[in-house]
Structure 1
């Protein structure tokens, strides 16, 4: 198989044939008593079946998690390969991705999308059930269009253009060439989709066991939040004040109010609480309910496997293929703990929390509990409290208020007495604007200076969660400074393999090398 730098080949026709057979055939996800495998003609003829189909579409997010983390962090300066050789991972590490690399495969994204399209096209059948009111049906449509929009948004951040499928498939495929959207077209369309969803009712149903007791449903913390997604879309389009308003509402409104603890990044956040963010998501779990807005759970008791554990763990039963870079470790080691003069270390998010060392190997700790054994139940966070705060800070900074952004990083969020700040809730010294000006003398404005501080804080907060590459692309594109990205990524090999560092820097100075290409069966070779 030849090696290419930017192309991932799929056949749209073959893709639809293969995925059509898989619609809603996922294993049990949130509720093992639910039969999510249904006959085609019976998929949507009742409210209960529409509900199952919606949960089934969300269940397929599990298949995206490994790719999101690997492609999101391995292309950045925070993660690299171990001594256990894997060709596909090394390609990603060096930005030389072959056309058969499974981590860059777009088909799992389309698997979710086609499930969404099938439900949206056929949901009218549910009117046969008197329980399916117009209000409930609109709520389901909004839910599934929001999920589809989130998936397409992940794709357009990875690929230069994305073939957009909006309709259901039924096994009969004429010659079909979907329209390909670039970043601008995709974001504009997704804004319209999500704005429509914002105007619709929200799903609000409850499940009860045979004794009439309400069942705690992880699904209720797995649904894509409309405000958060629309905020990200506005941020991408440059509508910074609208983005800031939406992120603020996520924190306050979706968090239950200004005086509530949920989503407020309250202090103190010790290492034990930090680790709890990666435990199984339940409404009853204090850390989950306070820290997560949207998360994808994995539960081995229901035969759900999180392959991240095998990639990161150096236990003999696992592969240990990926590890933190020296640069990512240095990020945490360079922080100053508040009130302490002899310790320079982010002890809450750093050693023993985000990473650790076992048997002389540096390992990722975010999906680990205890001393050396990975959890049976792991969580992948899509939106959590710190993300909302830092996205708000990013948006409000670009809206012309860098001082407000710095306050959010350090210690407070206006209108919320419970918020301690991103650094404050992990007992780190606050960042000072005068010091930052000295640190970045080459930057021309406080907005750019605070933006660099935000980029560094996101590395401390979200390492190994798959966000880093998109962060680097977003910040460098907005500033018009490809050297921000190129220099940052090259640092993973600086002083270790200077030839690789130079090759990475040279390649990544060209923004057209930042995204992959999806080549359809009708594309030119």
Structure 2
């Protein structure tokens, strides 16, 4: 298997970095090689092309975390279950009985990528000092790798809790990371402080620039994929770090930078004529628009027009509607939803792990949706009265009599028959972050910052409907309704849609997460802050299942409310519904927060 496609000079160097492990001096196998097989640091970091190669090399190594990331963030939670084909290690993760030697509980792969980040950060500083790269080039690349390192450390904190060693310089051996004498243990809260402090001072927080006049060399086309979404979104990361810390206004401010893309200083592009399509060349449109009912050229749940009462008219293909975001190519609609995606190409390493994990045709079918997950989707009611959430239909399917998670398989399976197009070719994508997650997290922050009605609007039916005292009435002056412009930034939204005078606010097509999914609004009961927060947590399950967010959402809300039963009950419901006799014992175990975390060994 080839290593990485060679399209530019830096891809040649990237192949060397990934293949030989340069910048990853901790790997014993690499250290055991003969000296003549190596290039010196001076030979590797010579110019801007080599700097770009180093960055691509880090991301290439980062892709090796995909399987462990999904297993830890989904199988530990309530939406994913093991099949009869799963090994003992996955079963341990599933019921929280991890033993020594479980590879999914090993933090070493995370530290291997961190060590690569540390090496690149160190050498970027040297290159800047030696005038091998310009200040602007340094700022962009240092910030990218620094942010990626912070994201990985956040994952370590989520899964290993108060046992993490915060290492910011290259190590000779990865075993050193577990040396308490040299690298003292920090608590999760201390780690968050360090990550917020470091990441908030990165010199460049925007995406890599692109376009005819600005080209970093990192934004390019490689083997049919544009690299615009390969790199971590720093606004989203800063939002998440501050959300974990309880800095809700700061979190919302960072998320709004994504939701209101024109603020980033790029040109507005209204090429396809839709009012809500706009923003810069990176984010395009991030406003969670309602369905395009005439042609279903959207990413929402929809039905053939005038046949909405017929379940058979559900839009269910790879080019229209909600399902298509996981299958379509990198067109404008895809760019409007996805913030961070890494593609797997059958011709290059690393191999796509998701076919083997999920597919029962050409894969090992190790993991499946839990009954709890299926019940969540089937407990929803659509606006047309159908008693199910169609997002569930697109997230898993019954194939050969078995429930199969298909979010990761649309590029592998035939769009109609759902059999492999070519069993030897296993293309796919690692979905890391998208706009819907940003909207849910913004709403979570806004809700805790006292903006409950706005949070409910973004969750349910959108801003225009929620802030309209008489929805559906026409011929009105809407100057003082359908907006939150009286609120300070980041909570000031204009969703006005009227004719006398004419308004088309930037947010007038916002439909909310549930509106886009065509399900009825979530009811708000009791304490509205807690009710909205619980609804947001549940909505994350319905919208983002198996994308790697579930465990972290459960942990964050449980910590915030000081209520471990939120997490414990979720896992209990999964295990009990799937007939696991350890369900009650696991619940009791997870009522103690220290048992949420994996052993650091």
Q: TM-score, normalised by structure 2?
A: 0.74
| Aligned-residue offset at 1:153 | 1.0
Aligned to 1:190: 195
Aligned to 2:332: 286
Aligned to 2:585: 503
- SS of the equivalent of 1:245 reads helix
Q: Does 1:427 align with 2:450?
A: no
Q: Partners in 2 of 1:130 and 1:493 — Cα distance? A: 58
Contact 2:79-2:373 at 8 Å conserved across structures: yes
The 5 Å alignment of 1:227-306 reads 227-253=235-261, 260=278, 262-268=285-291, 269-270=300-301, 271-272=316-317, 273-279=321-327, 282=330, 285-306=331-352
Q: Does 1:327 align with 2:372?
A: yes
Q: Partners in 1 of 2:8 and 2:93 — Cα distance? A: 36
Alignment match of 2:403 (pick from 348, 353, 362): 362
The 5 Å alignment of 1:401-412 reads 401-412=451-462
- SS of the equivalent of 1:295 reads strand
Q: Partners in 2 of 1:171 and 1:514 — Cα distance? A: 28
Aligned to 2:357: 311
Alpha carbons of structure 1 residues 281 and 303: separation in structure 2 relative to 1, 3 Å: farther
Alpha carbons of structure 1 residues 134 and 66: separation in structure 2 relative to 1, 3 Å: same
Aligned to 1:74: 75
| Aligned-residue offset at 1:472 | 0.8
| Aligned-residue offset at 1:337 | 1.0
| Aligned-residue offset at 1:165 | 1.7
- SS of the equivalent of 1:368 reads coil
Alignment match of 2:444 (pick from 394, 398, 406): 394
Q: Partners in 2 of 1:408 and 1:168 — Cα distance? A: 43
- SS of the equivalent of 1:458 reads helix
Alpha carbons of structure 1 residues 303 and 115: separation in structure 2 relative to 1, 3 Å: closer
Spell out, residue by residue over 1:485-514, the C-alpha distance to the aligned partner (whole angstroms, 9 max, x if none).
111110113255363221121111111100
Q: Structure 1: give runs of 5+ residues left out of the alignment.
A: 1-25, 438-443, 520-525
Alignment match of 1:463 (pick from 530, 545, 548): 545
Q: Give the alignment's Cα RMSD to 1 decimal.
A: 2.8
Alignment match of 1:344 (pick from 382, 387, 405): 387
Contact 2:371-2:578 at 8 Å conserved across structures: no
Aligned to 2:467: none
Q: Partners in 1 of 2:7 and 2:441 — Cα distance? A: 33
Mean CA deviation greater in 453-462 or 101-110? 101-110
Q: Does 1:222 align with 2:198?
A: no
Alignment match of 2:575 (pick from 493, 497, 501): 493
| Aligned-residue offset at 1:281 | 6.4
| Aligned-residue offset at 1:428 | 1.4
Alpha carbons of structure 1 residues 488 and 200: separation in structure 2 relative to 1, 3 Å: closer
- SS of the equivalent of 1:493 reads helix
Contact 1:136-1:201 at 8 Å conserved across structures: no
Q: Partners in 2 of 1:482 and 1:57 — Cα distance? A: 36
Alpha carbons of structure 1 residues 263 and 30: separation in structure 2 relative to 1, 3 Å: farther
Mean CA deviation greater in 287-296 or 252-261? 252-261
Q: Partners in 2 of 1:70 and 1:501 — Cα distance? A: 19
Contact 1:280-1:298 at 8 Å conserved across structures: no
Aligned to 1:451: 533
CA radius of gyration, larger in: 2
Alpha carbons of structure 1 residues 29 and 429: separation in structure 2 relative to 1, 3 Å: farther
Mean CA deviation greater in 214-223 or 388-397? 214-223
| Aligned-residue offset at 1:130 | 6.4
Contact 2:207-2:234 at 8 Å conserved across structures: no
Q: Partners in 1 of 2:174 and 2:232 — Cα distance? A: 31
Aligned residues: 475
